[in-house]
Structure 1
Amino acid sequence: MATRVRRTPEEARRQILEAAAKLLAAGGPAAVRVRAVAAEVGVSDAAVNHHFGTREQLLSALLRFGGATLKSELHAALEGWSEGAADPAELVRVLAALYAGGYAELALALRQLGWRDTGSGLLDEVVDRLHAQALANCAARDRTAPTREAVQLAVAAVHQAVATEPLFGDEFRRSVGLDADARDRVLDWWVETLRAVVAG
């Protein structure tokens, strides 16, 4: 007979969310079912429901979990920036990895169910760091620095483009005659666009 594993409520929630994230990456939101998550963790369906309530509540918690993961990875990237110049390529890489892992589809599915994001400022620190770099670079080269709002607009545009890439990227590229192989070149273009904004 298998021995029962005791978990704290926080540990159980984390393991359930990690299992749900794994299923999301493998099969999109449709793969994140209470029974599948329970099987992945080795708990009963009732245990998953105990911690999250309905499947929709589990999906909503999973989206917040993805946001927390993104924030953690961005923080790590920002720490790397403190050792040198801010590199927009790292920002684009972190965002692209998250949304390619199923979070773009999840956000769309939840939005269709009526969910609305009420948070703000997830990328504020990124904007601040890029703007500070722009001010320093432009002062050293006697150029006009972009306003903070210009940096905000550029970061928002990149975030929007990278978030919708898994959903509509192929269609948008085909609409202008590009093939699927152009995906990485599009991401590179966004990196260069951010660098150009920061350069003034």
Structure 2
Amino acid sequence: MPEARRVPRRRRSADEARLQILEAAQQRLAASGPEGLRLQEIAADVGVSHPAILHHFGSREGLLEALASHTAERLNREIAARLETGEPALREILAMTRDTLASQGQARLLAWLALSGRLASESPEILRGLVDVAHRRRVQHRAEAGGVAPEREDTIHAILLVALSLFADALIGDLLRASLGHTSASGEDAFRDWLAALLESHLAG
């Protein structure tokens, strides 16, 4: 677990303080998981008091809920921006998502929140926005090719399949691969490439 770094306190806006607290919590999450987060350590990292964190988030659980929403919204914006501005490689998007879920600890956090009954009620809106962008591009491509527009439900299922696969992979992917004899890092890359190819083929079909 990283040691708490005592940062000198300074005046900052409420939004700035909230963002810095979330960023510090993210670093702690990646290193220690949700069970290892301590408000006193995060406060020392940012240079605020423990009560200041409670003022912004209400409780430790409130901070974790806000962190999950903040990270998911940021990832959604990044993916949507790539889809809007060009033809990003799906492998690149899946790798970015997998890094957020696994390396940054978000899958463990989401699992903890879900099992605790603490997932925010607005969570479904995050995937819905991504579906909107992906489906709009599918409709555009089909129209340009003179084809029939795909059903939105089909796009929803495709996005849901990938989201569930990446979430489970971040939690128990290594264990399941090991049970099948795939113990090297190449096994993870091979699965992600296969998933990307499957999605590309389906969305283009």
In which range does the TM-score fall when normalised by the shorter chain?
Answer: 0.7 to 0.9
1:28-85 Cα shifts (integer Å, max 9, x gaps) = 112321011011101221222222222111111111111222123223322332xxx3
1:97 aligned residue: 99
The question of whether the paired residues in 2 share the 8 Å contact of 1:151 and 1:197 is answered with no
2:55 aligned residue: 50
Paired residues for 1:53-68 under 5 Å: 53-68=58-73
1:40 to 39, 45, 48: 45
Q: 1:146 to 1:193 in 2, by over 3 A?
A: farther
Q: 1:53 to 1:179 in 2, by over 3 A?
A: same
1:69-106 Cα shifts (integer Å, max 9, x gaps) = 2123223322332xxx3542343133212112111111
Amino acid at match of 2:162: V
Query: How far apart are the structure 2 equivalents of 1:69 and 1:140?
Result: 31
Q: 1:174 to 1:12 in 2, by over 3 A?
A: same
Query: How far apart are the structure 1 equivalents of 2:97 and 2:173?
Result: 14
Tell whether 2:16 aligns with 1:11: yes
CA positional deviation for 1:167: 1.0
Moved more, 25-34 or 15-24: 25-34
1:169 aligned residue: 173
The question of whether the paired residues in 2 share the 8 Å contact of 1:78 and 1:126 is answered with no
Q: 1:60 to 1:136 in 2, by over 3 A?
A: closer
The question of whether the paired residues in 2 share the 8 Å contact of 1:73 and 1:94 is answered with no
Query: How far apart are the structure 2 equivalents of 1:147 and 1:7?
Result: 48
Tell whether 2:121 aligns with 1:118: yes
Amino acid at match of 1:166: A
The total of aligned residue pairs comes to: 196
Query: How far apart are the structure 2 equivalents of 1:46 and 1:7?
Result: 15
The question of whether the paired residues in 1 share the 8 Å contact of 2:10 and 2:47 is answered with no
The question of whether the paired residues in 2 share the 8 Å contact of 1:131 and 1:198 is answered with no
Q: 1:159 to 1:3 in 2, by over 3 A?
A: closer
Q: 1:133 to 1:43 in 2, by over 3 A?
A: closer
The question of whether the paired residues in 1 share the 8 Å contact of 2:34 and 2:108 is answered with yes
Q: Secondary structure at the match of 2:181?
A: coil
The question of whether the paired residues in 2 share the 8 Å contact of 1:86 and 1:133 is answered with no
> TM-score, length-normalised on structure 1?
0.84
1:194 aligned residue: 199
The question of whether the paired residues in 2 share the 8 Å contact of 1:170 and 1:180 is answered with no
1:109 aligned residue: 112
Q: 1:3 to 1:26 in 2, by over 3 A?
A: closer
Q: Secondary structure at the match of 1:122?
A: helix
Calculate percent identity across the aligned residue pairs: 36
2:189 aligned residue: 184
Moved more, 138-147 or 15-24: 138-147
Query: How far apart are the structure 2 equivalents of 1:189 and 1:115?
Result: 33
1:158 to 162, 187, 192: 162
Query: How far apart are the structure 2 equivalents of 1:79 and 1:132?
Result: 9
The question of whether the paired residues in 1 share the 8 Å contact of 2:134 and 2:155 is answered with yes
Structure 2 stretches of 5 or more lacking a match? 1-6
Deviant stretches of 4+, over 3 Å: 123-147
